[in-house]
Structure 1
């Protein structure tokens, strides 16, 4: 990713965060309380001075009670039929070594969002529980990875699929020498506005 693209992504993310915060009528202090992300970090993100990790983006999305794709792909899409290509959508929205293609951003009528995620070699992230009732389905489409759910790491190979409760601790890692690519469908049980 070029420096210009990273700066554009940081600025877009900052604008999205600020507009959501203002729409809620929240100060930076209140936003820090709701998200568990420090006021200083939130200010840096809003000013485009910091590119957060995916884990930080999840904390922010959870604090606002919105889907992750509202920060990674905030464009409003109201089409019934839409052709999207992962190669054109794939980017690095955060500072960690995960590439994200938001294949279908969150749609409140359907209650889910679908990502293509790429874990670069050596990547590991343990995720805090998402909101109550959130489930994830993971389908490995290339490479090998490990997925943490039910308290243990499970090996996943190309073609393997699993659905798990994401309102519990879980994680993703790639201990191999090549990238691991998977589809991640995140379903929100409760209607989200």
Structure 2
């Protein structure tokens, strides 16, 4: 990835105590990602290096080194710069388009449909295995029940019904949801979704992965094989 901005190296810049110079080494992918995002965010706000240095308390020399991927910034430095730019520290680690967002047109979305055609899933976030959360649109035909695949320990689901009604079952517990209702449940347990109505139900689901996967986590490859073998749609 290359920045659309012209990044000029300052030969007189001194090394900062909160960063490690890397000028003699090849660009590291993560360092370059941080540098590109910092340069983009600064350009969007029409800030010079000097202006950002004054606002953040981080030296101009360090900012220049970070943007050109010649230094490894500390968390403390990134927090200062993020506060000055009014963004999250996570903004420096995004792999979306360099303009700061990624448009996902509905007509070009890859909707995954079950073998019987009565259940479909549409991803609403970029295809990135490293993300901690998955966002999907679900469509469930009338009177259809869709069994979910138990996910890795610690995984939770936040689901909201946008049209129709849904009954969510987790083990032997059942909860009926009307339009606008939401529910949060442990997705590492046996669960299912049932549409008890006579019209199609639609819901939006956010799946949050465990931050620290337990040692007994089911390998992703095995889970994928199970899903494909069942109906080819994510649970």
Give the TM-score normalised by the residue count of structure 2.
0.44
Match of 2:193 in 1: 172
User: Residues 135 and 88 from structure 1, CA distance in 2 versus in 1: closer, same or farther, beyond 3 angstroms?
Assistant: same
Structure 1 stretches (4+) deviating beyond 3 angstroms?
Answer: 77-80, 85-88, 105-110, 190-193
> Does the Cα contact within 8 Å between 2:111 and 2:123 map onto a contact in 1?
no
- Structure 1 unaligned segments of length 5 or more: list them: 1-76
- What does the per-residue CA deviation read over 1:87-128, in whole Å, with 9 as the maximum and x for residues that have no partner? 652634331411221101464554011000000112102324
User: Residues 171 and 105 from structure 1, CA distance in 2 versus in 1: closer, same or farther, beyond 3 angstroms?
Assistant: farther
Match of 1:82 in 2: 102
User: Residues 149 and 85 from structure 1, CA distance in 2 versus in 1: closer, same or farther, beyond 3 angstroms?
Assistant: farther
Q: C-alpha distance in 2, partners of 1:106/1:113?
A: 9
Partner SS, residue 161 of structure 2 = strand
User: Residues 119 and 125 from structure 1, CA distance in 2 versus in 1: closer, same or farther, beyond 3 angstroms?
Assistant: same
Q: Pick the aligned partner of 1:131 from 152, 162, 165.
A: 152
Deviates more, 1:106-115 or 1:157-166: 106-115
Q: C-alpha distance in 1, partners of 2:206/2:132?
A: 10
Shift of 1:169: 1.1
User: Residues 128 and 109 from structure 1, CA distance in 2 versus in 1: closer, same or farther, beyond 3 angstroms?
Assistant: closer
Q: C-alpha distance in 1, partners of 2:168/2:131?
A: 25
Shift of 1:170: 1.0
Partner SS, residue 104 of structure 1 = coil
Shift of 1:172: 0.1
Give the TM-score normalised by the residue count of structure 1.
0.53
Match of 2:208 in 1: 187
Structure 1 vs Structure 2 CA RMSD: 2.5
Q: C-alpha distance in 1, partners of 2:135/2:189?
A: 19
User: Residues 86 and 172 from structure 1, CA distance in 2 versus in 1: closer, same or farther, beyond 3 angstroms?
Assistant: farther
Q: C-alpha distance in 2, partners of 1:159/1:87?
A: 25
Match of 1:61 in 2: none
Aligned residues: 117
- Where do residues 2-13 of structure 1 align in structure 2 (5 Å cutoff)? none
User: Residues 186 and 174 from structure 1, CA distance in 2 versus in 1: closer, same or farther, beyond 3 angstroms?
Assistant: same
Match of 2:173 in 1: 152
Q: 1:94 and 2:94 equivalent?
A: no
Shift of 1:144: 0.7
Greater strand proportion: 1
Match of 1:47 in 2: none
Shift of 1:145: 1.1
> Does the Cα contact within 8 Å between 1:118 and 1:181 map onto a contact in 2?
yes
Match of 1:67 in 2: none
